[in-house]
């Protein structure tokens, strides 16, 4: 099989560069070898890993029949956290079934049920902010998005179980982003329980505590069976697949943890970028403020999410810093053709979100933060794909855009902020995401008088 060209340096070196300096490495390869290009990672006899960024090739990959591809090669790292039944680890019919059950709570009408709650949680967290003090956006955003997931997805009300779960999850998620834990997830032979003081033993015990709380919540909800509840867990408890089957407790646990792990840090990272980017671009901030100021004196989630400039700012943030650089890598099981190349079993195909978003042919001045481009033009789902696409596209696409706009809009309606450190930031790895370096400290300059929150629907 003739493969697209790519670097000839030893695979170990390519792997290290891809992990340590992912954006520089991808930029260099794209500049030198064009699109697509092949890299060698994972070991000496590693399969070729081919990166694609042209809309046409990405469209072809998304259209490939799922049975010709194996998605499990890259996702196994999630197994210890998310569990065997997680949607992320499923393939074929099981995967379709899980998606069919999981998608409805995150779409259409359902989103409107969450708007008011998202704004209220944001208000609750920021009410501690005092004019003149400095806050870290990097700490504030996960605090907001974790509470949103716990209330909207798990349907937990603030109380002892909520607080315990929030603390345990927050700590666990903080730990798993450290290099030590990340390595344990990548190398299953290191996953040994040598007692509560060993890293893996500690992880297992904490996971056990979290699971006990989640199972207790599931039991209670099954017993109550309240059809008026709108949270995702309640909807999943009531959901049935085509064969009339509902989810088991273990399936529910695994999906809840997966939604939490994929939904909380990603949105928090995107929000950190948006705060940095708009405050580093005064013109953009000014336009955004003017749009928000034109809203009536009450904060209406439904009106806020429809603001075109606010939407464009969030879209452009995810274009320039897409949080996840790539879609789930696909290993070829049966020969497939993409971009005029024939790929045999074993090759790994990677739709590269980051490079697709930096393509000169698609985006004028791709390195510049320019929300207007989303007002002036519509991009196809193969040109703009921060949430991936095809059969494994992100389940939280609509929800996280909705959440981003409401959190950003609510905070800007309450406070004027200023970057405490004007030096440019760069992307740094945090777990599966790339977030701005330095924690984005911001000074609270001014507080605006309080507009009232009004119900999303009367
Ligand atoms: C800014 C926020 C987010 C970004 C940038 C993001 C991005 C992504 C990307 C790139 C993928 C892989 C798609 C592919 O390979 O084609 C993905 C998958 C996924 N995301 Fe998100 N995501 C975000 C928020 C969320 C939220 C809020 C949830 C749920 C609460 C969520 C749940 C999932 C799930 C379950 C999958 C796996 C889907 C599957 O395997 O079928 N994500 N996300």
Confidence of residue 458 (pLDDT cuts 50, 70, 90): very low
Ligand 1: residue whose CA is nearest its atom 26:
263
Is the shortest distance between the CB of 259 and ligand 1 below 6 Å?
Answer: yes
Do 102 and 396 contact (CB within 8 A), yes or no? no
- Residue 244 backbone class (left: φ over 0; alpha: ψ -120 to 50; beta: rest): left
Distance 396 CA to ligand 1 centre (A): 6
Do 119 and 410 contact (CB within 8 A), yes or no? yes
Pocket mutation for ligand 1, best pick of 93, 394, 395 (most atoms within 8 Å of C-beta): 394
Measured from the CA of 75, which atom of ligand 1 is nearest?
40
CA distances in angstroms from 338 to 62, 64, 269, 291, 451, listed in the order given = 10, 9, 32, 43, 53
φ, ψ (nearest 5 deg) of residue 71: -95, -5
pLDDT in the model for residue 298: 66
Is the shortest distance between the CB of 315 and ligand 1 below 6 Å?
Answer: no
Pocket mutation for ligand 1, best pick of 59, 94, 266, 391 (most atoms within 8 Å of C-beta): 266
Distance 54 CA to ligand 1 centre (A): 21
Query: pLDDT tens for residues 269-328?
Result: 999 999 999 999 999 999 999 999 988 766 789 999 999 999 999 999 999 999 989 999
Distance CA(149)–CA(166), nearest Å, equals 10
SS (H, E, C) the chain: CCCCCCCCCCHHHHHHHHHHCHHHHHHHHHHHHCCCEEEECCCCCCCEEEEECCHHHHHHHHHCCHHHEECHHHHHHHHHHHCCCCHHHCCHHHHHHHHHHHCHHHCCHHHHHHHHHHHHHHHHHHCCCCCCCEEEHHHHHHHHHHHHHHHHHCCCCCCHHHHHHHHHHHHHHHHHCCHHHHHHHHCHHHCCCCCCCCHHHHHHHHHHHHHHHHHHHHHHHHHHCCCCCCCHHHHHHHCCCCCCCCCCHHHHHHHHHHHHHHHCHHHHHHHHHHHHHHHCCHHHHHHHHHHHHCCCCCECHHHHHCCHHHHHHHHHHHHHCCCCCECCCEEECCCEEECCEEECCCCEEEEEHHHHHCCCCCCCCCCCCCCHHHHHCCCCCCCCCCCCCHHHCCCCHHHHHHHHHHHHHHHHHHEEEEECCCCCCCEEEECCEEEEHHHCEEEEEEECCCCCECCCCC
Strands 48-52 vs 348-351: parallel, antiparallel or unpaired: parallel
Measured from the CA of 323, which atom of ligand 1 is nearest?
5
Is the shortest distance between the CB of 399 and ligand 1 below 6 Å?
Answer: yes
Is the shortest distance between the CB of 400 and ligand 1 below 6 Å?
Answer: yes
Distance 395 CA to ligand 1 centre (A): 6
Is the shortest distance between the CB of 87 and ligand 1 below 6 Å?
Answer: yes
Residue 36, preceding bond cis, omega within 30 degrees? yes
Distance CA(67)–CA(157), nearest Å, equals 41
Measured from the CA of 324, which atom of ligand 1 is nearest?
10
Distance 265 CA to ligand 1 centre (A): 11
Ligand 1: residue whose CA is nearest its atom 3:
266
Mean pLDDT along residues 266-270: 95
Distance CA(417)–CA(126), nearest Å, equals 12
Confidence of residue 44 (pLDDT cuts 50, 70, 90): very low
Distance CA(206)–CA(196), nearest Å, equals 9
Distance CA(288)–CA(339), nearest Å, equals 40
Q: Quick one: angle between helices 282-293 and 397-414, nearest 10? A: 90
User: In degrees, to the nearest 5, what angle opens at C-alpha 215 toward C-alphas 209 and 221?
Assistant: 140
Those residues with Cβ within 8 angstroms of residue 180's Cβ, 6 or more apart along the chain or in another chain: 199
Is the shortest distance between the CB of 392 and ligand 1 below 6 Å?
Answer: yes
Measured from the CA of 390, which atom of ligand 1 is nearest?
16
Instruction: Tokens for 194, please give them.
Output: 């040598």
Ligand 1: residue whose CA is nearest its atom 41:
392
Measured from the CA of 318, which atom of ligand 1 is nearest?
5
Residue with tokens 């855009």: 401
Q: Kindly tell me if the per-residue pLDDT of 67 is higher than 60.
A: yes
- All domains of the chain in start order, with CATH: 11-155+229-447 (1.10.630.10)
Share of the chain above pLDDT 70, in %: 96
End-to-end, the C-alpha distance of the chain in Å comes to 62
Distance 267 CA to ligand 1 centre (A): 10
Instruction: Tokens for 269, please give them.
Output: 């990272």
Mean pLDDT along residues 380-398: 95
Residue, of 231 and 383, whose pLDDT is higher: 383
CA distances in angstroms from 309 to 146, 272, 279, 377, listed in the order given = 26, 18, 15, 13
Mean pLDDT along residues 55-81: 89
Distance CA(385)–CA(394), nearest Å, equals 10
Query: pLDDT tens for residues 146-192?
Result: 999 999 988 888 889 889 998 898 888 777 777 677 677 777 777 88
Distance 2 CA to ligand 1 centre (A): 33
Do 434 and 336 contact (CB within 8 A), yes or no? no
Confidence of residue 119 (pLDDT cuts 50, 70, 90): very high
Pocket mutation for ligand 1, best pick of 151, 268, 272, 387 (most atoms within 8 Å of C-beta): 387
Measured from the CA of 326, which atom of ligand 1 is nearest?
10
Distance 392 CA to ligand 1 centre (A): 8
Measured from the CA of 433, which atom of ligand 1 is nearest?
5
pTM: 0.93
255, 269, 283, 329: which is closest to 72 by C-alpha?
A: 329
pLDDT in the model for residue 452: 59
Q: Over the chain, what is the mean pLDDT?
A: 90
Is the shortest distance between the CB of 142 and ligand 1 below 6 Å?
Answer: no
Is the shortest distance between the CB of 164 and ligand 1 below 6 Å?
Answer: no
Distance CA(297)–CA(454), nearest Å, equals 10
Distance 397 CA to ligand 1 centre (A): 7
């Amino acid at each position: 099989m003739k493969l697209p060209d790519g670097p000839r340096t030893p695979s170990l070196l390519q792997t290290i560069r891809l992990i340590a300096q992912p954006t520089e490495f991808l930029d260099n390869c794209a500049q030198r070898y064009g699109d697509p290009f092949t890299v060698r990672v994972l070991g000496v006899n590693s399969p070729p890993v081919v990166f694609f960024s042209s809309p046409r090739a990405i469209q072809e990959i998304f259209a490939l029949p799922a049975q010709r591809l194996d998605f499990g090669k890259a996702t196994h790292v999630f197994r210890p956290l998310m569990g065997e039944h997680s949607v992320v680890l499923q393939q074929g019919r099981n995967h379709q079934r899980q998606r069919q059950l999981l998608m409805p709570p995150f779409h259409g009408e359902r989103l409107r049920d969450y708007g008011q709650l998202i704004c209220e949680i944001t208000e609750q967290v920021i009410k501690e902010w005092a004019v003149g003090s400095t806050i870290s956006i990097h700490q504030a955003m996960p605090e907001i998005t974790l509470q949103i997931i716990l209330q909207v997805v798990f349907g937990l009300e603030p109380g002892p179980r909520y607080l315990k779960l929030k603390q345990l999850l927050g700590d666990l998620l903080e730990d798993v982003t450290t290099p030590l834990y990340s390595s344990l997830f990548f190398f299953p032979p290191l996953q040994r329980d040598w007692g509560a003081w060993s890293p893996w033993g500690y992880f297992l015990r904490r996971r056990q505590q979290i699971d006990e709380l989640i199972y207790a919540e599931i039991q209670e909800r099954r017993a109550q069976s309240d059809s008026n509840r709108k949270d995702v867990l309640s909807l999943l408890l009531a959901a049935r697949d085509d064969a009339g089957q509902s989810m088991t407790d273990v399936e529910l646990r695994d999906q809840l943890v997966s939604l939490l792990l994929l939904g909380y840090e990603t949105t928090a990272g995107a929000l950190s970028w948006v705060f940095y980017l708009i405050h580093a671009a005064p013109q953009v901030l000014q336009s955004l403020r003017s749009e928000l100021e034109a809203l009536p004196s009450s904060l209406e989630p439904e009106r806020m999410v429809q603001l075109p400039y606010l939407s464009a700012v969030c879209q452009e943030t995810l274009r320039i810093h897409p949080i996840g650089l790539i879609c789930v890598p696909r290993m070829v099981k049966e020969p497939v053709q993409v971009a005029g190349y024939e790929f045999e079993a074993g090759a790994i195909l990677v739709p590269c979100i980051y490079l697709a978003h930096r393509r000169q042919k698609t985006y004028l001045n791709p390195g510049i933060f320019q929300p207007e481009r989303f007002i002036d033009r519509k991009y196809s789902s193969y040109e703009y794909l921060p949430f991936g696409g095809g059969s494994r596209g992100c389940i939280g696409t609509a929800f996280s855009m909705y959440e981003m706009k409401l959190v950003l809009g609510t905070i800007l309606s309450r406070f004027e902020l200023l970057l405490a450190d004007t030096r440019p930031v760069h992307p740094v790895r945090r777990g599966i995401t790339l977030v701005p370096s330095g924690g984005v400290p911001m000074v609270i300059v001014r507080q605006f008088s309080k507009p009232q929150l009004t119900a999303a629907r009367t």
